């Protein structure tokens, strides 16, 4: 029990500093934007959607069905909202629990001595676990590991009680239930059933390859045959149900997720897929270089036989075969049992019991009981199951290393990654056992005390180095900036691109732009990076450059709806209404099939339709606008905020004089967002129009109360006061509006109008002049400035503004009339005019 507690404590201590970490990398999509975590979403949706909140049967779904993990996120969200501390705490506690269970499992293999302790500490400290524990989405792997071990321990209990107790089938039921739970945390959890079968055959029954078939067919070993058959049936059932539930279709991924899978060369695919397990083993053995992402070109394809990395592949599979042969070969006369040398089936020290090959052949296979000792430490324990031999542990360790990793090998279906460190969380259990049993075998084999000490302390130092690397790597996971900077040397394109997003959120605009351009230097066709750079340029009023990058993004990914949306917005603001209309229409027709994030796509399509409706609205085509708004409402996803769309629906009905319909949509807008200021203002105008003056004033005042710094609210209230002939109050509201939003043309222009109507011509002149400076090429601004100068007696300045307005709009009747009147006055006063 001490070993379990100490190992768990180390696992807990190493990750305590992650409790202060922020959300990183995939956490945003799995938690921040996942609708399945919200209280208003029915919790049953979790069992129909994938890990990212997309319907499992959707063509763009990753098919990552992990409802128990998502359910744990929902509980976190219900208790602590989006505070990352509670999410990290659950991850760390789960890892500590897994470490304790792994140490208990190691005790079954190594006994109570210090080798169990070594195995537990190695698992607790291994740096490959950092992504799974420090990254919140890695909870899927840690949770799967917890139930994986529970299932395996239940099966070990089943084996030890089989034929002796009726409770044995209760333990088997626990095996099946925990295996199902492990799979519902993450897909690879189902592989525990295969590992359990390996344990039963090669560890509990200590069979060698040539003994398996004769032993299973012996009637006296029917219980073994039955257990293996039930494991096979349950595993097949789980896999069949899993395949059916995800729509009987494999997921589809982009070529950047797994370049080898997308390669046209069979040779490149074969060599790369054979090499990748070698690279994964190296990460377990020497986790010096770790990264948050190994996609794209992080591991270059092996395209020829001459690639030197093929030597690593050959060495890896040769070593694997040799280990498998060592574990599965028939025992020799001289062999080792439980860490002690054995000759002719009899152990030569410490009274250990061990079966010889003849004993295995001539006796019924069943658990044996003996005194237990380990590596020179003797304990007399009655009725204790004999410890497995080194060969047995090697076979089990290999199965625990290889079998849970098989789903990630691209052997049965392509996966959406090249390497994923968190996928190695469960296979690392086999690795830790393999290193421990190897160190123990060497320790027993050598005779000199110096060499024994060297082996022991080398293993201890390996654990120390792993712990130090874990502590350092946890620092990288403290925030996204550190995480992405740490990944630049492995995956520069992805790391620079993500770093650009972080720098942009920190308002480090020039650094963010450099980061995006660095990402595109390494991979020029990344649609997301092209779009992000375009968005950055757009937000900094570099519209021509932004349009260029949006077009490149669309060329790289024609289904990128957000790029169409922003392109249309820029074109609309530039007055290119027909081009903007075509862009919005094209965006609205893009289907969401095979898209990675259909929810985000639908939101962009809805926004495109909203802006198309606004375009029609501004052109006075209110019926067309309503048609588009209705289509937007039909296509709107659950997470889309509809208040602006509903408000514009009300505006269109208002312009068509359909006041009941307008009122309905204004109320819908306020219901969807009770503090939506535009709906307060537009509804206030409708109430004033229908004679409900006191109610109208309440809505205007409420809008001001919601945001006292917004000049637009004062402007609308001032217009209401002006219509009520409360001229001085209206003038005050106009001045307040213009002072607060002095760079907003509409606010300043309308404020000048109100001041003019209140006969405050000097103040009106000031704001007409400001409006004309804001839009120097807008004829109406120049004409109105000319008119107020005309009224205020500044005739020559008035003439100049009238003439400038006519240059921009030569056929404007009002300006022509005002100019003629002005000339008449100037001629009477003897002033020189431009016509003379």
Q: Is residue 153 part of a domain?
A: yes
- Please count the CA atoms within 13 angstroms of the CA of 465 that sit on its side-chain side: 11
Q: How far apart are CA 250 and CA 231, in angstroms?
A: 25
Burial of 382 (0-12, 13-18, 19+ CB in 10 A): exposed
Q: How many independent structural domains does the chain possess?
A: 2
Q: Compute CA distances 283 → 275, 279, 725, 827, whole Å.
A: 13, 6, 79, 92
Spell out the residues 6+ positions from residue 75 whose beta carbon is closer than 8 angstroms to its own.
Answer: none
Q: How far apart are CA 412 and CA 202, in angstroms?
A: 26
Task: Read off the pLDDT of residues 182-220 as tens digits, 9 standing for 90 and up.
Answer: 999 999 999 999 999 999 999 998 887 777 666 666 656
Radius of gyration of the chain (CA): 37
Task: Read off the pLDDT of residues 780-817 as tens digits, 9 standing for 90 and up.
Answer: 888 989 888 888 888 888 888 888 888 888 888 888 88
Q: Is residue 167 part of a domain?
A: yes
Average pLDDT over residues 523-533: 94
Task: Read off the pLDDT of residues 564-623 as tens digits, 9 standing for 90 and up.
Answer: 999 999 999 888 999 999 999 999 999 988 788 888 899 999 999 999 999 999 899 999
In this prediction, residue 215 carries a pLDDT of 64
Among 450, 472, 494, give the residue marking a domain's end.
472
In this prediction, residue 371 carries a pLDDT of 34
User: Would you say the C-alpha torsion 414, 417, 421, 423 has a positive or negative sign?
Assistant: negative
The answer on pLDDT for 174 being more than 50 is yes
Burial of 729 (0-12, 13-18, 19+ CB in 10 A): middle
Q: How far apart are CA 14 and CA 470, in angstroms?
A: 7
Angle at 790 (CA atoms; ends 789, 792), nearest 5 degrees: 60
Q: Is residue 202 part of a domain?
A: yes
In this prediction, residue 567 carries a pLDDT of 96
Confidence band for 360, pLDDT divided at 50, 70 and 90: very low
Q: Is residue 456 part of a domain?
A: no
DSSP string, 571-597: HHHTT-HHHHHHHHHHHHT---TT-S-
Average predicted confidence (pLDDT) for the chain:
88
Burial of 644 (0-12, 13-18, 19+ CB in 10 A): middle
Q: How far apart are CA 388 and CA 327, in angstroms?
A: 12
The answer on pLDDT for 356 being more than 60 is no
In this prediction, residue 219 carries a pLDDT of 55
Q: How far apart are CA 451 and CA 178, in angstroms?
A: 43
Q: Which of 775, 722, 668 is nearest to 714 (CA)?
A: 722
> Do 53 and 36 contact (CB within 8 A), yes or no?
yes
> Do 497 and 526 contact (CB within 8 A), yes or no?
yes
> Do 117 and 7 contact (CB within 8 A), yes or no?
yes
Among 453, 472, 491, give the residue marking a domain's end.
472
Least confident of 324-338, 340-354, 523-537: 340-354
Q: Is residue 223 part of a domain?
A: yes
φ, ψ of residue 830 in degrees (nearest 5):
75, 20
Among 418, 447, 472, give the residue marking a domain's end.
472
In this prediction, residue 218 carries a pLDDT of 62
Confidence band for 336, pLDDT divided at 50, 70 and 90: very low
Record the pTM. 0.82
The answer on pLDDT for 367 being more than 60 is no
Structure tokens at 534: 């375009």
Q: How far apart are CA 528 and CA 445, in angstroms?
A: 57
Give the position of tokens 């222009």.
749
The answer on pLDDT for 524 being more than 60 is yes
Q: Which residue has the higher pLDDT, 366 or 657?
A: 657
Spell out the residues 6+ positions from residue 150 whose beta carbon is closer than 8 angstroms to its own.
Answer: 101, 174, 178, 182
Alpha helices in 408-526 (DSSP H): 427-445, 449-476, 480-486, 492-505, 509-522
Confidence band for 385, pLDDT divided at 50, 70 and 90: low
Average pLDDT over residues 635-652: 92
The answer on pLDDT for 378 being more than 60 is no
Confidence band for 330, pLDDT divided at 50, 70 and 90: low
Give the position of tokens 């994030």.
597
Q: How far apart are CA 714 and CA 734, in angstroms?
A: 7
In this prediction, residue 216 carries a pLDDT of 60
Average pLDDT over residues 490-514: 95
CB neighbourhood size of 445 (10 A): 14
Confidence band for 836, pLDDT divided at 50, 70 and 90: low
Burial of 699 (0-12, 13-18, 19+ CB in 10 A): buried
The answer on pLDDT for 358 being more than 70 is no
Q: How far apart are CA 190 and CA 406, in angstroms?
A: 11
Q: Compute CA distances 412 → 109, 186, 269, 357, 408, whole Å.
A: 32, 17, 14, 38, 9
> Domain range holding 243?
1-32+82-252+461-472
Alpha helices in 126-258 (DSSP H): 130-134, 139-161, 168-185, 192-198, 212-217, 222-245
In this prediction, residue 63 carries a pLDDT of 84
Q: How far apart are CA 287 and CA 285, in angstroms?
A: 6
Q: Is residue 678 part of a domain?
A: no
The answer on pLDDT for 275 being more than 90 is yes
Q: Is residue 120 part of a domain?
A: yes
> Do 50 and 63 contact (CB within 8 A), yes or no?
yes
The answer on pLDDT for 221 being more than 80 is no
Q: Which residue has the higher pLDDT, 214 or 653?
A: 653
Q: How far apart are CA 665 and CA 3, in angstroms?
A: 66
Q: Which of 449, 374, 404 is nearest to 119 (CA)?
A: 374
Q: Is residue 394 part of a domain?
A: no
């Amino acid at each position: 029990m001490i070993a379990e507690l100490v190992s768990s404590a180390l696992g807990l201590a190493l990750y305590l500093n992650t409790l202060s970490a922020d959300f990183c990398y995939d956490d945003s999509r799995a938690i921040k934007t996942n609708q399945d975590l919200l209280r208003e979403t029915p919790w049953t949706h979790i069992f129909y959607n994938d890990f990212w909140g997309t319907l499992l049967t959707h063509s763009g779904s990753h098919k990552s069905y992990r409802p128990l993990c998502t359910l744990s996120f929902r509980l976190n969200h219900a208790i602590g909202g989006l505070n990352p501390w509670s999410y990290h705490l659950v991850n760390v506690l789960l890892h500590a629990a897994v470490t304790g269970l792994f140490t208990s499992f190691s005790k079954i293999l190594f006994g109570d001595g210090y080798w169990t302790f070594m195995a537990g500490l190695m698992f607790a400290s291994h740096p490959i676990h950092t992504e799974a524990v420090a990254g919140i989405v890695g909870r899927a792997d840690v949770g799967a590991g917890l139930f994986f071990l529970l299932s395996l321990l239940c099966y070990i209990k089943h084996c030890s009680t089989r034929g002796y107790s009726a409770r044995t089938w209760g333990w088997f039921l626990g095996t099946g239930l925990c295996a199902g739970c492990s799979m519902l945390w993450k897909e690879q959890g189902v592989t525990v059933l295969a590992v359990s079968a390996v344990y039963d055959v090669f560890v509990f029954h200590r069979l060698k390859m040539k003994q398996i078939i004769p032993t299973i067919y012996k009637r006296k070993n029917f219980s073994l045959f039955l257990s293996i058959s039930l494991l096979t049936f349950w595993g097949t059932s789980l896999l069949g149900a899993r395949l059916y539930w995800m729509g009987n279709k494999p997921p589809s991924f982009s070529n950047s997720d797994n370049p080898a899978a997308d390669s046209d060369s069979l040779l490149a695919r074969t060599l790369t897929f054979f090499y990748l397990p070698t690279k994964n083993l190296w990460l377990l053995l020497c986790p010096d270089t770790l990264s948050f992402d190994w996609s794209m070109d992080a591991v270059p394809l092996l395209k020829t036989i001459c690639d030197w990395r093929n030597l690593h592949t050959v060495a890896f599979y040769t070593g694997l075969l040799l280990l498998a042969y060592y574990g599965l070969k028939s025992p020799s006369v001289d062999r080792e049992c439980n860490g002690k040398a054995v000759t002719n089936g009899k152990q030569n020290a410490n009274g250990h019991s061990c079966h010889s090959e003849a004993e295995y052949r001539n006796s019924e296979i069943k658990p044996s009981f003996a005194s237990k000792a380990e590596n020179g430490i003797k304990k007399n324990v009655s009725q204790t199951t004999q410890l497995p031999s080194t060969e047995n542990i090697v076979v089990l360790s290999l199965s625990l290393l290889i079998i849970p990793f098989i789903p990630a090998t691209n052997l049965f279906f392509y996966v959406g990654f090249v390497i994923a460190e968190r996928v190695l969380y469960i296979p690392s259990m086999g690795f830790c056992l393999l290193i421990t049993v190897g160190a123990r075998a060497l320790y027993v084999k050598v005779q000199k005390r110096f060499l024994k000490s060297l082996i022991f302390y080398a293993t201890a130092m390996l654990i120390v180095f792993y712990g130090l690397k874990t502590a350092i790597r946890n620092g990288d996971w403290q925030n996204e900036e550190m995480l992405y900077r740490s990944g630049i040397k492995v995956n520069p394109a992805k790391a620079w691109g993500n770093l650009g997003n972080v720098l942009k959120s920190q308002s480090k605009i020039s650094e963010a732009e450099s980061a995006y351009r660095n990402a595109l230097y390494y991979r020029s066709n990344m649609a997301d990076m092209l779009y992000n750079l375009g968005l950055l340029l757009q937000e900094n009023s570099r519209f021509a450059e932004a349009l260029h990058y949006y077009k490149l993004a669309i060329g790289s990914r024609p289904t990128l709806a957000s790029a169409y949306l922003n392109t249309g917005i820029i074109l609309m603001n530039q007055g290119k209404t027909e081009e903007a209309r075509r862009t919005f229409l094209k965006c609205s027709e893009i289907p969401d099939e095979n898209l990675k994030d259909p929810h985000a796509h639908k939101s962009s399509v809805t926004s495109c339709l909203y802006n198309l409706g606004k375009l029609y609205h501004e052109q006075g085509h209110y019926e067309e606008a309503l048609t588009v708004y209705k289509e937007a409402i039909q296509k709107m996803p659950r997470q889309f905020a509809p208040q602006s769309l509903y408000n514009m629906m009300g505006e269109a009905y208002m312009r068509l004089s359909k006041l009941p319909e307008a009122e309905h949509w204004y109320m819908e807008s306020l219901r969807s967002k009770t503090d939506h200021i535009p709906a307060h203002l537009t509804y206030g105008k409708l109430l004033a129009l229908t004679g409900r003056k006191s109610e109208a004033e309440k809505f205007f005042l409420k809008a001001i109360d919601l945001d006292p710094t917004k000049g637009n609210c004062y402007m609308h209230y001032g217009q209401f006061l002006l219509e009520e002939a409360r001229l001085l109050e209206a003038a005050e509201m106009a001045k307040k509006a213009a002072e607060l939003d002095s760079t907003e043309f509409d606010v300043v222009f309308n404020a000048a109008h109100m001041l003019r109507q209140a006969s405050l011509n000097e103040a009106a002149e000031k704001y007409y002049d400001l409006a004309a400076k804001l839009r120097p090429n807008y004829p109406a601004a120049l004409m109105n400035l000319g008119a107020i100068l005309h009224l205020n007696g500044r005739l020559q300045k008035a003439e100049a503004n009238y003439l400038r307005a006519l240059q921009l709009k030569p056929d404007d009747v009002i300006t022509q009339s005002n100019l003629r009147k002005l000339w008449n006055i100037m001629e009477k006063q003897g002033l020189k005019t431009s016509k003379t």
